[in-house]
Amino acid sequence: MIKNFFKRINLPENTEIEHTPEFLSLIVNKCVTNIAYENLDILEDKPISLEFKDMYEKIVLKGKGGYCFELNGLLTHILREMEFTVSDRFARYLRGEKEIPMRRHRVSVVKLCTGNYMCDIGVGEIAPREALKIEEGLIQNIQGETYKFEKSDVHGWVLYDLYKGQWREYIAFTEEDQYDVDFIQPSFFCEKHPSSPFNKAPMLAIKTEKGRKTIDGKIYKEFEGTKLAHIEENITEERYRELLKTAFKLNV
């Protein structure tokens, strides 16, 4: 199982597991640069299963991607197979929101001897490419991006990112442990509710060494950092299918 996972994220099958922040960050980085964030099953009206065996088969064995409930769910279970102490958290995605949003994001929290670390491989936008230490006020520079956690009486841990010289709220989560069953209801909301952004048009993203690639509807973009380096508008169905395989590394 772990060997198949390593192969999926482009690591040698005999990679030695180390219970360190560095190894954890390696896993996160390899995930976000090899597994695409995507909503294709939702668009095709295929029910999303949050059972580990189903997520493992879909993402690892069949070479597909997923969204936060699947990607971070898979990560939590795989890390447990590696004998990490890991739990799930409900999170609010705060970036760009004018009002307090519902909790419809999932992140993993790993306990190491050096502290607790948040891992998140389920965001298509700019997001940490490594594990972040959950420590109030600690400024963490990750491959050209800057983050910090602050504690809130209302939202628990609030993660900020530095954008154009200003700190902006990114996500927030409290400290209660969550379980797979807790994410079924918000996942179903994302699949079926009329106000959900996930059931309208293709949403794909994958990180690259210098930035990320995205598809939003019929628009394909490539970013270097925050700079738009390439754009294709009104992509054809043929080009779309080509990009799924080449740019987003999907087996479709």
The conformation of residue 75, written as its DSSP 8-state character, comes to: H
First and final CA of the chain: distance in angstroms?
Answer: 22
Question: Could you tell me if residue 25 is inside a domain?
Answer: yes
Q: What is the CATH classification number for the domain harbouring 58?
A: 3.30.2140.20
Domain of residue 69 covers: 2-199
* Domains: count for the chain: 1
Question: Could you tell me if residue 174 is inside a domain?
Answer: yes
Question: Could you tell me if residue 231 is inside a domain?
Answer: no
- Predicted TM-score (pTM) of the model is 0.94
How far is 181 from 18, CA to CA, in rounded Å?
29
- pLDDT tens digits in sequence order for the chain, 252 residues long: 999 999 999 999 999 999 999 999 999 999 999 999 999 999 999 999 999 999 999 999 999 999 999 999 999 999 999 999 999 999 999 987 778 878 889 999 999 999 999 999 999 898 999 999 999 999 999 988 999 999 999 899 999 999 989 999 999 999 999 999 999 999 999 999 999 999 999 999 999 998 999 999 999 999 998 899 999 999 999 999 999 999 999 998
For residue 40, the SS3 value is: helix
Question: Could you tell me if residue 179 is inside a domain?
Answer: yes
Question: Could you tell me if residue 193 is inside a domain?
Answer: yes
Question: Could you tell me if residue 194 is inside a domain?
Answer: yes
Which residue shows structure tokens 């990114």?
170
What crossing angle do the helices spanning 184-192 and 68-81 adopt, rounded to 10°?
Answer: 150
Question: Could you tell me if residue 96 is inside a domain?
Answer: yes
Question: Could you tell me if residue 91 is inside a domain?
Answer: yes
